[in-house]
């Protein structure tokens, strides 16, 4: 994997790469995924503007789905907001692991909060995969271009799904829903680092059990258990190897 | 429910999600990104994301729940095979997997 290729550098080159990378798949995936969200939101009683703003401001599908599902079943506001928050709790460790990778050095609080707001699994996974090939001072621009491109696709997809202007056969819709997790799985296959790989395998193993026992906090359990054991294994392997 | 209630839900959910992102920024500002704590949080984020993806495929709550586990797993295997066959091209893997799932559902029901 570690080929000696030329690093991408320069504002225009990096923005072009970000847009092409977004259009190569992620923008389409988000468009179709958010179409599904748009139609569910309509069914639950949300207006088109509310649905589009949910995608723009929440910007985390598991939380958006929790919001729509609990609203449809008539839960109270507090329960809905709490469930959405819990479903999106992954943003805390994701922001922590992602922001330093942009190697921006010192930057203002406002800028960092905007970066954090734009983060999604898609940009997290794609950027961590592409950053090694991008000159460090241009990584932030790559991220902003990529993240805003897919966010735009997601908002458009939400509105298209809401208005139901694209009616696809059910069998085809299933394939389109499936490509979203599939894309993440393929991107994650390329993750380097022993500790990270162990953590991912253990996260998958843990969630199978946690999902049956504690379905509402299964992701938190998978993250903390899988990540801690993966971290410990990675450390002990490293120190053992260094001897 | 009135429109105001829906707006409160949307904005409340946006704020409740933003809290996690903002807490992430607070933590980033305070830690050394080459230290052990940072590495631990990175491992937690990988475990969480991988767990989420695993759940979306193996234990889905979406319409995919209606598709049998055999079809889902077979489609993942086909996707991975296509990905490696076409020199790690993500598009190849994703298209092969999506088409396989739709095809298998249409064929086997």
Note the pLDDT tens digit of each residue in A142-192.
999 999 999 999 999 999 999 985 667 888 888 988 998 999 999 999 888
- Is the per-residue pLDDT at A106 higher than 80? no
User: Among candidates B9, B63, B7, B62, which has minimal Cα distance to A75?
Assistant: B9
Min Cα separation B4/chain A (Å): 11
* Residue A17 and residue A93 share a domain: yes
* Residue A129 and residue A69 share a domain: yes
pLDDT for residue A197? 94
Nearest CA in chain A to B63: A174
Q: Exposure of B32 by Cβ count < 10 A (0-12 exposed, 13-18 middle, 19+ buried)?
A: exposed
What is the DSSP-derived secondary structure letter of residue A7?
P
What's the domain range around A169? 11-190
Q: Exposure of A73 by Cβ count < 10 A (0-12 exposed, 13-18 middle, 19+ buried)?
A: exposed
Asked if A213 has any chain B CB less than 8 Å from its own CB, the reply is no
Asked if A61 has any chain B CB less than 8 Å from its own CB, the reply is no
Min Cα separation B75/chain A (Å): 9
Q: pLDDT confidence of A2, banded at 50, 70, 90?
A: very low
Q: What is the ipTM of this complex?
A: 0.90
Q: What is the mean pLDDT of residues A128-139?
A: 91
Whole-angstrom distance, CA of residue A198 vs CA of residue A235 = 11
Q: Is the dihedral of CA A53, A55, A57, A62 positive or negative?
A: positive
Whole-angstrom distance, CA of residue A4 vs CA of residue A44 = 52
Residue A8, phi then psi, degrees to nearest 5 = -75, 130
Say whether A97 and B46 touch across the interface (CB within 8 A): yes
Going from N- to C-terminal start, the domains of chain B cover: 67-109
> How many residues are given for chain B?
109
pLDDT for residue B8? 97
* Residue A33 and residue A152 share a domain: yes
Q: Is residue A90 part of a domain?
A: yes
Q: Is residue A226 part of a domain?
A: yes
* Residue A97 and residue A35 share a domain: yes
* Residue A239 and residue A186 share a domain: no
Say whether B46 and A178 touch across the interface (CB within 8 A): no
Say whether A54 and B54 touch across the interface (CB within 8 A): no
Q: Is residue A1 part of a domain?
A: no
Whole-angstrom distance, CA of residue B46 vs CA of residue B53 = 11
* Residue A149 and residue A112 share a domain: yes
Neighbouring residues of A201: CB distance < 8 A, sequence distance ≥ 6: A226, A230, B50
Say whether A206 and B57 touch across the interface (CB within 8 A): no
- Is the per-residue pLDDT at A215 higher than 90? no
Q: What is the pLDDT of residues A42-88, one digit of tens each?
A: 989 999 999 999 999 999 999 999 999 999 988 999 999 999 999 99
Q: How many CB pairs under 8 A join A and B?
A: 296
Q: Is residue A2 part of a domain?
A: no
Q: What is the mean pLDDT of residues B85-95?
A: 94
* Residue A144 and residue A60 share a domain: yes
Q: Exposure of A183 by Cβ count < 10 A (0-12 exposed, 13-18 middle, 19+ buried)?
A: buried
* Residue A222 and residue A186 share a domain: no
- Is the per-residue pLDDT at B52 higher than 80? yes
* Residue A85 and residue A35 share a domain: yes
- C-alpha distances in Å from residue A92, one per residue of A39, A42, A171, A233: 29, 29, 36, 23
Residue with tokens 């990905």: B83
Q: What is the distance in angstroms between the CA of the first residue and the CA of the last residue of chain B?
A: 39
Q: Count Cβ atoms below 10 Å from residue A82 Cβ, excluding itself.
A: 18
Say whether B9 and A175 touch across the interface (CB within 8 A): no
Q: Is residue A4 part of a domain?
A: no
pLDDT for residue A173? 83
Min Cα separation B1/chain A (Å): 9
- Is the per-residue pLDDT at A243 higher than 80? no
Structurally, chain A folds into a number of domains equal to: 2
* Residue A137 and residue A67 share a domain: yes
Say whether A177 and B50 touch across the interface (CB within 8 A): no
* Residue A200 and residue A101 share a domain: no
pLDDT for residue B59? 93
Q: Is residue A3 part of a domain?
A: no
């Amino acid at each position: 994997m570690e080929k000696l290729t030329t690093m991408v550098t320069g504002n225009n080159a990096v923005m072009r790469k970000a847009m092409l990378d977004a259009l190569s798949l992620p923008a389409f995936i988000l468009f179709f995924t958010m179409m599904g969200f748009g139609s569910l939101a309509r069914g639950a009683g949300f207006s088109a503007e509310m649905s589009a703003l949910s995608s723009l401001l929440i910007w985390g599908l598991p939380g958006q789905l929790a919001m729509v599902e609990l609203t449809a079943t008539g839960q109270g506001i507090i329960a809905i907001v709490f469930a959405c928050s819990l479903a999106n709790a992954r943003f805390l460790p994701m922001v922590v692991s992602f922001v330093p990778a942009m190697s921006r050095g010192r930057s203002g609080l406002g800028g960092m909060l905007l970066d954090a707001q734009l983060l999604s699994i898609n940009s997290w996974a794609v950027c961590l995969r592409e950053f090694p090939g991008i000159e460090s001072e241009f990584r932030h621009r790559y991220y902003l271009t990529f993240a805003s491109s897919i966010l735009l696709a997601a908002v458009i997809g939400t509105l298209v799904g809401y208005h139901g202007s694209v009616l696809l056969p059910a069998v085809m819709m299933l394939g389109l829903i499936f490509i979203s997790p599939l894309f993440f799985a393929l991107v994650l296959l390329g993750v380097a680092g022993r500790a990270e790989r162990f953590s991912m395998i253990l996260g998958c193993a843990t969630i199978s059990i946690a999902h049956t026992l504690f379905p509402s906090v299964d992701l938190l359990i998978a993250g903390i258990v899988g990540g801690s054991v993966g971290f410990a294994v990675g450390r002990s392997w490293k120190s053992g190897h260094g001897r | 429910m009135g429109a105001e209630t829906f707006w409160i839900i949307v904005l409340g959910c946006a704020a409740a999600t933003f809290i996690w992102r903002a807490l992430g920024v607070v933590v980033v500002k305070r830690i050394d990104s080459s230290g052990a704590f940072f590495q631990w949080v990175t491992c937690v984020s990988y475990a969480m994301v991988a767990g989420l993806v695993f759940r979306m495929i193996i234990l889905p709550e979406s319409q995919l729940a209606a598709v049998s586990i055999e079809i889902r797993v077979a489609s993942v295997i086909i996707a991975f095979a296509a990905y490696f066959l076409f020199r790690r091209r993500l598009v190849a893997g994703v298209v092969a997997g999506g088409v396989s799932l739709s095809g298998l559902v249409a064929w086997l029901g």
